[in-house]
């Protein structure tokens, strides 16, 4: 992966060969020190689909998510073995720059993380300058900010106050601002780590609607504690337990007729 | 999973257990009414027939209560997987059981009409045989459903053919009677109606057997869906 290739990306999702996953994970192990928290995960994340990862606390689902854009390695003592292929290329290959990976695979966290000293508009375009390349012109940045805010279903609520501090927004609006910021770099993949955990029901609904709207354009992987949320918004659901991917199936099948009895036990509350 | 969630689930599972008990009680009452209606027929007992008609209201009431509880659990607990299949199927099973009660009432009403007729015919032994088989299918279907026993559910479905054959056989026998002696037409038609109602009870038991398979295995076998997939 080269900087040149990244800079030339014309749209959020360049075409990929049919039936190939956007992201393919092969035999992935993730460690904190000596402790292996993800064990031999193999899973495909299909182009334009929403995949939810569910499982009990501490099962490794957030760690797996953070391995998908090399965020895991930012933690001291953390390391990864195995492969994560983005469009067939290993993001852990020696020549690949982690920041470039994160431009293509955006991430939104459990709590909204707007930059507190920046305006709404500047928050959205902040990622465009993050890798030290020449920033787009101000006019280009304005254009991208409008596009990203519209895609994040926030434009109508903030269009008259783009210069206000991002902290003036509600929690739900801040989270959609973070999604807009992630979309601004036109990533191919969006990772959502419990994106509505700190939001009220109305804001949760707006974020879920946004995820639904973005399907088809962006490949989304979402970790959630909320099984109903996984059922509502995802095309496929993966169930993790003790660091192991137990089952990955179409959401409609996993929640009605799961194939593994551990999945059945978890989603019906007969766990442990 | 938090402690709070676990305790919420436990409460839910207690409620599922209570719902199963209600279904079993409703089924037992439906079986009793079928038995009582056929007993009324075989013993020409108008009082028993009246008792069946009056008791049907209990089953209607039970259906409303089970339905309400099921809808509440669906709305409040948002169940998944087997629990979801159980609640969806429970709404169908309770409706089938209510229909079983209606068929018992139909039989009781035939008994009352036959009692008022000047001519009587002795019920064929196959009527009692059909009643015994239909009740047994119903009991096993409910057992399969509440225990989630797919094999027993499939077994119940297979047994329906025997009841259908008994009904067809009775039809031919009654037709012969009616052709031989036109005075027997009215009571014979009533017996055919009784036979038809028993055959329907067996069909409803078959539905419940199919629901038991869906609950246990997540597979639809009604309308020969399983063979169509193969």
Burial class (CB in 10 A: 0-12, 13-18, 19+), A174: buried
Q: Is residue A261 part of a domain?
A: yes
Number of domains in chain A: 1
Please say if the pLDDT value at position B48 is more than 50: yes
For residue B191, the number of C-alpha atoms closer than 13 Å in the C-beta half-sphere is: 31
Which tens digit of pLDDT belongs to each residue from A98-140?
988 998 999 999 999 999 999 999 999 998 876 566 778 899 9
- pLDDT, greater one: B1 or A123: A123
Q: Is B57's Cβ below 8 Å from some Cβ in A? A: no
Q: Is B85's Cβ below 8 Å from some Cβ in A? A: yes
Q: How many CB atoms lie within 10 A of CB A213?
A: 12
Instruction: Return the pLDDT at A203.
Output: 87
Q: How many CB atoms lie within 10 A of CB A130?
A: 12
Beta A89-90 vs A78-86: how paired, if at all? antiparallel
Query: Which of B5, B6, B83 is facing A268, going by the closest CB pair?
Result: B83
Please say if the pLDDT value at position B2 is more than 50: no
Closest chain B residue by Cα to residue A232: B78
List the single best residue of A56, A230, A251, A257 to mutate versus B (max B Cβ within 10 A). Answer: A257
Residues of B in contact with A256 (CB under 8 A): 80-81, 84-85, 218
Distance in Å, alpha carbon of A220 to nearest chain B alpha carbon: 23
* Mean pLDDT (whole number) for A85-90: 94
Give this prediction's pTM: 0.80
- Ranges of each domain in chain B: 3-229
Strand partners, A240: A245
A256 and B6: CB-CB below 8 Å?
no
Residues of A in contact with B81 (CB under 8 A): 255-258, 263-264, 267-268
Instruction: Return the pLDDT at B11.
Output: 84
Cα(A54)–Cα(A73) distance, integer angstroms: 22
Give the pLDDT band of residue A42 (cuts 50, 70, 90): very high
Which tens digit of pLDDT belongs to each residue from B138-191?
999 999 999 999 999 999 999 999 999 999 999 999 999 999 999 999 999 999
How far is Cα of residue B116 from the mean position of the Cα atoms in its chain? 28
Instruction: Return the pLDDT at B226.
Output: 73
Instruction: Return the pLDDT at A2.
Output: 36
Q: How many CB atoms lie within 10 A of CB B226?
A: 15
Distance in Å, alpha carbon of A192 to nearest chain B alpha carbon: 20
Which tens digit of pLDDT belongs to each residue from B112-146?
999 999 988 888 899 999 999 999 999 999 999 99
B218 and A264: CB-CB below 8 Å?
no
Q: Is residue A27 part of a domain?
A: yes
Please say if the pLDDT value at position B69 is more than 80: yes
CB A157 within 8 A of CB A172: no
Supply A135's token pair.
């920033």
CB A48 within 8 A of CB A192: no
B81 and A228: CB-CB below 8 Å?
no
Q: Is B81's Cβ below 8 Å from some Cβ in A? A: yes
Which tens digit of pLDDT belongs to each residue from A11-21?
333 444 445 68
Residues of B in contact with A226 (CB under 8 A): none
Residues of A in contact with B8 (CB under 8 A): 269
Tell me the C-alpha to C-alpha distance, in Å, between residue B110 and each of B4, B37, B41, B207.
Answer: 56, 9, 8, 25
Residues of B in contact with A270 (CB under 8 A): 9, 13
A258 and B79: CB-CB below 8 Å?
no
- pLDDT, greater one: A135 or B86: B86
Cα(A141)–Cα(B20) distance, integer angstroms: 62
Please say if the pLDDT value at position B5 is more than 90: no
Cα(B115)–Cα(B45) distance, integer angstroms: 9
Instruction: Return the pLDDT at A132.
Output: 62
The residues, any chain, with a CB within 8 Å of residue B114's CB and separated by 6 or more, are B41, B44, B120, B187, B190, B191
CB B123 within 8 A of CB B41: yes
A256 and B9: CB-CB below 8 Å?
no
Q: Is B148's Cβ below 8 Å from some Cβ in A? A: no
Q: Is residue A137 part of a domain?
A: no
Distance in Å, alpha carbon of A54 to nearest chain B alpha carbon: 11
Three-class secondary structure of residue B124 per DSSP: coil
B84 and A255: CB-CB below 8 Å?
yes
Instruction: Return the pLDDT at A130.
Output: 64
Query: Which of A56, A57, A255 is facing B80, going by the closest CB pair?
Result: A255
Q: Is residue A10 part of a domain?
A: no
Domain of A23, CATH number, reads: 3.40.50.300
Q: Is residue A161 part of a domain?
A: no
Alpha-carbon Rg for chain B in angstroms: 20
Q: CB pairs below 8 Å between A and B: how many?
A: 39
Q: Which residue has the tokens 């009432």?
A: B105
A267 and B85: CB-CB below 8 Å?
no
Cα(B107)–Cα(B195) distance, integer angstroms: 9
Supply B169's token pair.
């056989």
Cα(A184)–Cα(A178) distance, integer angstroms: 10
The closest of A129, A132, A167 to A145, measured between CA atoms, is: A129
Q: Is residue A25 part of a domain?
A: yes
Which tens digit of pLDDT belongs to each residue from A1-40?
333 333 333 333 344 444 568 999 999 999 999 999 999 9
The residues, any chain, with a CB within 8 Å of residue B126's CB and separated by 6 or more, are B166, B169, B170, B173, B195
Show the domain range for A39.
19-113+186-267
Query: Which of B8, B80, B218 is facing A227, going by the closest CB pair?
Result: B80
The closest of A163, A125, A165, A155 to A142, measured between CA atoms, is: A125
Average pLDDT, chain B: 92
Q: How many residues does chain A have?
A: 272
CB A13 within 8 A of CB A48: yes
Closest chain B residue by Cα to residue A241: B1
Instruction: Return the pLDDT at B94.
Output: 97
Give the best-scoring range by mean pLDDT among A102-111, A191-200, B88-97: B88-97
Query: Which of A256, A264, A271 is facing B1, going by the closest CB pair?
Result: A271
Q: Is residue A122 part of a domain?
A: no
Q: Is B171's Cβ below 8 Å from some Cβ in A? A: no
Distance in Å, alpha carbon of B7 to nearest chain A alpha carbon: 10
Query: Which of B1, B12, B82 is facing A264, going by the closest CB pair?
Result: B82
Alpha-carbon Rg for chain A in angstroms: 18
Cα(B227)–Cα(B220) distance, integer angstroms: 10
Cα(A89)–Cα(A1) distance, integer angstroms: 8
Distance in Å, alpha carbon of B146 to nearest chain A alpha carbon: 17
Residues of A in contact with B12 (CB under 8 A): 269
Cα(B185)–Cα(B175) distance, integer angstroms: 9
The closest of A174, A181, A112 to A148, measured between CA atoms, is: A181
Tell me the DSSP string of A61-112: HHHHHHHTTT-GGGSTTEEEEEEEEETTEETTSTT--HHHHHHHEEEE-SS-
Distance in Å, alpha carbon of B54 to nearest chain A alpha carbon: 40
Q: Is residue A68 part of a domain?
A: yes
Q: Class for domain B3-229, per CATH?
A: mainly alpha
């Amino acid at each position: 992966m080269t900087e040149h290739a990244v800079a030339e990306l014309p749209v959020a999702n360049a075409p990929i060969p049919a039936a190939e996953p956007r992201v393919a994970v092969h035999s992935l192990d993730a460690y904190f020190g000596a402790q292996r928290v993800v064990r031999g995960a193999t899973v495909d994340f299909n182009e334009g689909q929403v995949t939810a990862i569910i499982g009990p606390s501490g099962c490794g689902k957030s760690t797996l998510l953070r391995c998908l854009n090399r965020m895991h390695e930012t933690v001291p003592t953390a390391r990864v073995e195995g492969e994560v292929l983005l469009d067939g290329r290993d993001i852990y290959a020696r020549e690949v720059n982690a920041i470039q990976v994160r431009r293509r695979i955006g991430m939104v966290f459990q709590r909204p993380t707007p930059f507190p000293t920046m305006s709404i508009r500047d928050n959205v375009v902040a990622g465009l300058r993050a890798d030290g390349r020449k920033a787009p012109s101000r006019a280009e940045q304005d254009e991208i900010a409008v596009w990203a805010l519209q895609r994040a279903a926030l434009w109508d609520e903030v269009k008259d106050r783009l210069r206000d501090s991002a902290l003036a927004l509600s929690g739900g609006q801040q989270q959609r601002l973070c999604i807009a910021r992630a979309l601004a770099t036109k990533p191919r993949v969006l990772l959502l780590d419990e994106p509505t955990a700190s939001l009220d029901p109305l804001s949760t609904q707006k974020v879920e609607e946004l995820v639904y709207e973005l399907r088809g354009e962006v490949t989304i992987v979402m970790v959630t504690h909320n099984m109903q949320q996984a059922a509502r918004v995802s095309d496929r659901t993966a169930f993790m337990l003790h660091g192991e991917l137990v089952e990955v199936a179409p959401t409609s099948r996993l929640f009605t007729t799961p194939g593994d009895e551990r999945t059945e036990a978890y989603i019906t509350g007969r766990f442990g | 999973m938090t402690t709070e969630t676990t305790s919420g689930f436990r409460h839910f599972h207690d409620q599922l257990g209570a719902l199963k008990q209600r279904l079993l009680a409703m089924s037992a009452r439906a079986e009793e009414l079928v038995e009582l209606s056929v007993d009324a027929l075989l013993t020409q007992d108008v009082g028993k027939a009246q008792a069946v008609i009056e008791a049907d209201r209990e089953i209607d009431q039970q259906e409303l209560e089970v339905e309400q509880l099921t809808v509440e659990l669906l709305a409040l607990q948002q169940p998944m997987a087997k629990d979801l299949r159980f609640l969806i199927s429970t709404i169908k099973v309770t409706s089938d059981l209510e229909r079983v009660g209606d068929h018992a009432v139909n039989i009781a009403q035939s008994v009352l009409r036959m009692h008022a007729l000047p001519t009587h015919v002795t019920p064929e032994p196959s009527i009692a045989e059909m009643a015994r088989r239909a009740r047994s299918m119903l009991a096993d279907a409910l057992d399969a459903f509440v225990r989630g026993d797919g094999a027993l559910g499939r077994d119940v479905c297979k047994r329906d053919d025997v009841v259908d054959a008994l009904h067809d056989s009775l039809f031919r026998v009654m037709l012969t009677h009616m052709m031989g002696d036109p005075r027997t037409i009215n009571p014979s038609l009533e017996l055919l109606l009784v036979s038809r109602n028993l055959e329907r009870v067996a069909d409803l038991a078959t539905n419940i057997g199919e629901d038991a398979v869906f609950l246990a295995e997540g597979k639809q076998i009604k309308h020969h869906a399983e063979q169509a997939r193969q």
